Amino acid sequence: MQEDPVLKVEDLRTHFFTRSGVVKAVDGISFEVGRGETLGIVGESGSGKSMTAWSILGLVPQPAGKIVGGKIMYLGEDLLQKDESEMREIRGKGICMVMQDPLTSLNPVFTIGNQLIESLKMDNKDSKPTLIQKATQLLANVRIPAPESRLSVFPHQMSGGMRQRVVGAIAMARSPNVLIADEPTTSLDATIQLQYLQLLKEIQAETGAAILFITHDFGVVARMCDRVAVMYAGKIVEQASVLELFDNPQHPYTEALLKSVPDLNEDVDFLPSIEGQPPTLDDLPEGCSFAPRCPYAFDKCNVYPGESSVGEDHVASCWRLDGAN
Amino acid sequence: MVQTNGHADPEALIRLDGLKKHYPVLKGIVFQKTVGVVKAVDGVSFSIPEGQTYSLVGESGCGKTTTSRQILMVEPPTEGEIYYQGTAMNKFTSEQRKDFHSSVQAVFQDPWSSLNPRMRVDAIVSEPLITHQNLTKEEVKKQVGELLEVVGLHAFHADRYPHEFSGGQRQRIAIARALSTRPKLMVLDEPVSALDVSIRAQILNLLKELQQTYNLSYLLIAHNLATVRYMSHRVGVMYLGKIIEEANPQDLFGNPLHPYTKALISASLPAHPNLQREEIVLTGEVPSPLNPPDGCTFHPRCPVAFEPCNTDIPVMQEVTPGHIVNCHLFTGAEATSSAAAAS
């Protein structure tokens, strides 16, 4: 991967200023995604993974939320320097998002065709029949059977898997360079989830889009991603290629999380579990935020550790790795 | 046609025999007429012995939750019978009914909506106790404290409200409430799927511990197959209101027989990137139970469907001891053992 990454996030900080204090939802994270690459962002609820996506799209909830530092480089330009109309252009064309719940991301009072054509109209002045033809093609691209007849259908008349594919079709309508998928399959059944993941892979192979895949499921990561970033309490604690992360997890959180997932092919009597609760962001402990739940925690952990490189394309933030290099 | 289950153990704590739940679809406001029937549960038989876990797996809309609602006596079945400790549920005396309600409890998926936000934890946990038992205030308070300790919380948590707890802790409160009446059977409807990944193992381990300590039986409803394997003694796979395969988890996941079970297992995501399973991608989606296909209800999506599948309804076969399947592929293969099982 010698060419420049499509999207490069450097030391991004998104904070919320609330009455009870500053909530550091995203606190100094850096990563990059190249063309045709899939980066998984794994974390629990409240770890800041969705807020990372909103920050990239410039949609941080106002007025409480604010990006207080860092850079988001998209094709060499810093998105944080763009004004609202430029961002609007990029959101449609360059970076698109597929959200968790397809029912709430489609407008219930417009037909599928209407909503598809709306996004197609943004940058071409084709005649209506051409647009209809293009919309049909888009539905066919996401493997919806009988696409012509689906254009006049309302969202509630489709099943969850179908709706999610329509959302995918809208997102791909203007062939974006970056697709952000925020837990797109959590509301789908297992067999439908597999269909959808395969479809995303196929579309990616055709268009070469970079995918930022936000999930809490290591199974999805194993199936979909090339590289993974593990988030905990607003920070990336470990980042590596998929194989490296699964074979050789370095951060105690990653290690414990991987162990606590039951395996379908094995019988175990007892699962190792992570004690304690995930931290709330307005009341973070000093230093490493995982320390209160960490079996290896020692006195150094009350200062946040720096990033240590542990092998090729593998970094983790833990004091235990500090002596290694 | 009532299907018989070769392993319907008469000694089981609870036994379902040919359970059906059909919902009529009505049309019209004043002069209503039935225009169709949704066969949510269509002939389900299984039994749960004491101290064991029976799991139902399947996609949404296959009838898992409807089955559990019959067991919880929320709705009466349309047809078929549920036996609790050998007595048919619809023949319960009022005394037995009362006893039944206190010995069967449920834990639901979403602890944000299953706990009343305006009740304190002590009120939530003690509500079943007060309903079912005559206890003094001191006894109730003592029991609530003990229950909270049992599920890994502290007695001082009793004075707090649900919003002060995280998801995992709330699910512990829901479990404490379910335990309060000393139940024999607990219905666990997706108990961990709404929780954070790092919390799931904690709750699953807690449930396992409680099962061993109190000799509880569980009916587990889940869609995560790895969780099911970890928790269960026996697993039933449901599709459109019917159990299509049943076995112990080792046999079911190690040697799945029904094409739907195979597809379901292949659709579950790998635990390691190198572990790529053969992926059987089913075409289409689950058909509507309002208008199920003829013959085997799975045949329109089945990759190996052949002639009798679109006309004849398959019958349960016992292929190896304890492993039963409802598929034409196995019809006649083990005719002798299935005949033995039916008698």
Smallest Cα–Cα separation from B173: which of B198, B200, B148? B148
pLDDT tops 70 at residue B6:
no
Specify whether the CB–CB gap between A46 and A251 falls below 8 A: no
Burial A273-294 (b: 16+ CB within 10 A, else e): bbeebbbebeebeebbbbbebb
pLDDT in tens, chain A (325 residues): 456 899 999 999 999 998 888 889 999 999 999 999 999 999 888 889 989 999 999 999 888 899 999 999 999 899 999 999 999 888 878 899 888 877 788 899 999 999 988 888 877 778 888 899 989 988 888 878 888 888 999 998 888 888 888 888 888 777 889 999 998 888 788 888 888 888 888 889 988 999 999 998 898 999 899 999 999 999 999 999 999 999 999 999 999 999 888 888 888 888 888 888 888 877 788 889 999 999 999 998 989 998 899 888 899 999 988 765 4
Burial B59-73 (b: 16+ CB within 10 A, else e): bebbbbbbbbbbbbb
Specify whether the CB–CB gap between A77 and A56 falls below 8 A: no
Specify whether the CB–CB gap between A305 and A319 falls below 8 A: yes
Smallest Cα–Cα separation from A90: which of A58, A49, A125? A58
Q: How many CB atoms lie within 10 A of CB A323?
A: 7
H or E element, residue A254: helix A252-259
Structural domain range at position A264: 7-94+174-324
Helices (H) and strands (E) in chain A, counts: 11, 12
Residue A68 falls within a domain, yes or no? yes
Residue B1 falls within a domain, yes or no? no
Q: How many CB atoms lie within 10 A of CB A123?
A: 11
Helix (H, G, I), strand (E, B) or coil at A302: helix
Residue B60 falls within a domain, yes or no? yes
Q: Do A190 and B264 touch (CB under 8 A)?
A: yes
Tokens matching residue B59: 């996609």
Specify whether the CB–CB gap between A234 and B285 falls below 8 A: no
Residue B3 falls within a domain, yes or no? no
Q: What pLDDT is stored for residue B9 in this prediction?
A: 60
Residue A158 falls within a domain, yes or no? no
Burial zone of B86 (CB within 10 Å; 0-12 exposed, 13-18 middle, 19+ buried): exposed
Residue B85 falls within a domain, yes or no? yes
Q: What pLDDT is stored for residue A68 in this prediction?
A: 94
Q: Between vectors from CA A292 to CA A290 and to CA A293, what angle results, nearest 5°? A: 70
Residues listed for chain A: 325
CATH at residue B241 = 3.40.50.300
Cα–Cα distance measured from residue B108 to residue A198, given in angstroms and rounded to the nearest whole number: 32
Specify whether the CB–CB gap between B116 and B53 falls below 8 A: no
Site of tokens 């039986």: B217
Number of separate domains in chain A: 1
A192 touches chain B (CB under 8 A): yes
CATH at residue A263 = 3.40.50.300
Cα–Cα distance measured from residue B310 to residue B126, given in angstroms and rounded to the nearest whole number: 53
Cα–Cα distance measured from residue B50 to residue B221, given in angstroms and rounded to the nearest whole number: 18
Residue A149 falls within a domain, yes or no? no
pLDDT tops 60 at residue B8:
no
A41 touches chain B (CB under 8 A): no
Specify whether the CB–CB gap between B235 and B55 falls below 8 A: yes
Residue A157 falls within a domain, yes or no? no
The crossing angle, in degrees rounded to 10, of helices B167-179 and B137-150 is 130
Residue A113 falls within a domain, yes or no? no
> Taking CB atoms and an 8 Å cutoff, what residues of chain B touch A44?
196-198
Specify whether the CB–CB gap between B5 and B324 falls below 8 A: yes
Residue A285 falls within a domain, yes or no? yes
- Binning chain A into helix, strand and coil, the percentages to the nearest 5 are 40, 25, 40
Phi, psi for residue B330 in degrees, rounded to 5:
-110, 5
pLDDT tops 80 at residue B55:
yes
Helices (H) and strands (E) in chain B, counts: 10, 12
Residue A93, by phi and psi: left (phi above 0), alpha (psi -120 to 50) or beta?
alpha
At position B188, the amino acid (one-letter code) is: L
B290 touches chain A (CB under 8 A): no
* 249-268 of A, contacting B, C-beta below 8 A: 253, 256-257, 260-265, 267-268
- A–B CB contacts, 8 A cutoff, strictly below: 124
| DSSP for A133-182, written as a single string | HHHHHHHHHTT-SSHHHHTT--GGGS-HHHHHHHHHHHHHTT--SEEEEE
**B228-266 tens-digit pLDDT:** 999 999 999 999 999 999 999 999 999 999 999 999 998
Residue B9 falls within a domain, yes or no? no
Distance from the B70 Cα atom to the nearest Cα atom in chain A, whole angstroms = 24
Out of A216, A217, A265, the one facing B269 most closely (by C-beta) is A217
Cβ-based neighbours of A91, under 8 Å, separated by 6 or more = A57, A58
H or E element, residue A192: helix A190-207
pLDDT tops 80 at residue B117:
yes
Cα–Cα distance measured from residue A45 to residue A37, given in angstroms and rounded to the nearest whole number: 24
Q: Which residue of B has its CA nearest to A219?
A: B269
**A209-230 tens-digit pLDDT:** 999 999 988 989 998 999 999 9
> Taking CB atoms and an 8 Å cutoff, what residues of chain B touch A275?
202
For residue B14, name the pLDDT band (cuts at 50, 70, 90). very high
Q: What is the ipTM of this complex?
A: 0.82
Specify whether the CB–CB gap between A25 and A231 falls below 8 A: no
Site of tokens 């997706």: B190
Smallest Cα–Cα separation from B249: which of B231, B264, B229? B229
Tokens matching residue B244: 């299509």
Q: How many CB atoms lie within 10 A of CB B210?
A: 18
Residue A133 falls within a domain, yes or no? no
Q: Between vectors from CA A44 to CA A43 and to CA A47, what angle results, nearest 5°? A: 75
Tokens matching residue B99: 């006893």
Distance from the B212 Cα atom to the nearest Cα atom in chain A, whole angstroms = 12
Residue B6 falls within a domain, yes or no? no
Out of B167, B199, B267, the one facing A190 most closely (by C-beta) is B267
Q: What pLDDT is stored for residue A174 in this prediction?
A: 77
Residue B38 falls within a domain, yes or no? yes
**B130-158 tens-digit pLDDT:** 888 888 999 999 999 999 999 999 999 99
Number of separate domains in chain B: 1
Phi, psi for residue B114 in degrees, rounded to 5:
-90, -10
Cα–Cα distance measured from residue B279 to residue B269, given in angstroms and rounded to the nearest whole number: 10
Q: What pLDDT is stored for residue B10 in this prediction?
A: 59
At position A277, the amino acid (one-letter code) is: Q
Q: Give alpha helix (H) positions in chain B.
A: 64-71, 94-103, 121-132, 137-150, 167-179, 197-214, 225-231, 249-254, 259-267, 335-342
Residue A67 falls within a domain, yes or no? yes
Structural domain range at position B267: 14-342
Q: How many CB atoms lie within 10 A of CB A134?
A: 15
Cβ-based neighbours of B307, under 8 Å, separated by 6 or more = none
> Taking CB atoms and an 8 Å cutoff, what residues of chain B touch A193?
267, 269
> Taking CB atoms and an 8 Å cutoff, what residues of chain A touch B273?
221-223, 242-243, 246
